[in-house]
Amino acid sequence: MRKSGKSIQYVFVGMSRLLLTEHAIITQCIIGLFFLLISIYFDISRIEWMFLVFSIGLVLTVESLNTAIELTCNFIHPDYNEKIGMIKDVAAGAVGFAVIFALINAFIIFYPYIVNF
């Protein structure tokens, strides 16, 4: 029981560090909150809520992993290195994919509501 309690504690420590120090995470949380608010306004369906919440969670998860990769790379090799740069670019590209597909989901969900508004 103690090990699982410590694990949960580490989860909340990690999440709070991300929310307090990483501007990309903070920005994406604000954008996610905006989409949650307009979802309440438009009274989207349960299925649409599922896709929206999944998309927001996916973007935050991938951005968190990107941050972990960047911190690890900076720790291993603090000076500029072409191979480290490639690793960071690929990690940032993963965030880009998550954001693009989240925006596609948002468009699919909200376009009918906006058109009928």
Is there a contact between 61 and 91 (Cβ–Cβ < 8 Å)? no
Domain-wise residue ranges, the chain:
2-116
Please list, in sequence order, all residues whose beta carbon lies within 8 angstroms of the beta carbon of residue 39, skipping any fewer than 6 positions away: 48, 49, 52, 109
Give the C-alpha separation, 87 to 93, whole Å: 10
Share of the chain above pLDDT 70, in %: 99
pLDDT digits (tens, 9 = 90+) for 56-80: 999 999 999 999 999 999 999 999 9
pLDDT digits (tens, 9 = 90+) for 77-104: 999 999 999 999 999 999 999 999 999 9
Assigned CATH topology for domain 2-116: Helix Hairpins (1.10.287)
Q: What is the pTM of this model?
A: 0.91
In the structure encoding, which two tokens stand for residue 21, read together?
């120090």
Kindly state the average pLDDT of the residues 25-37: 97
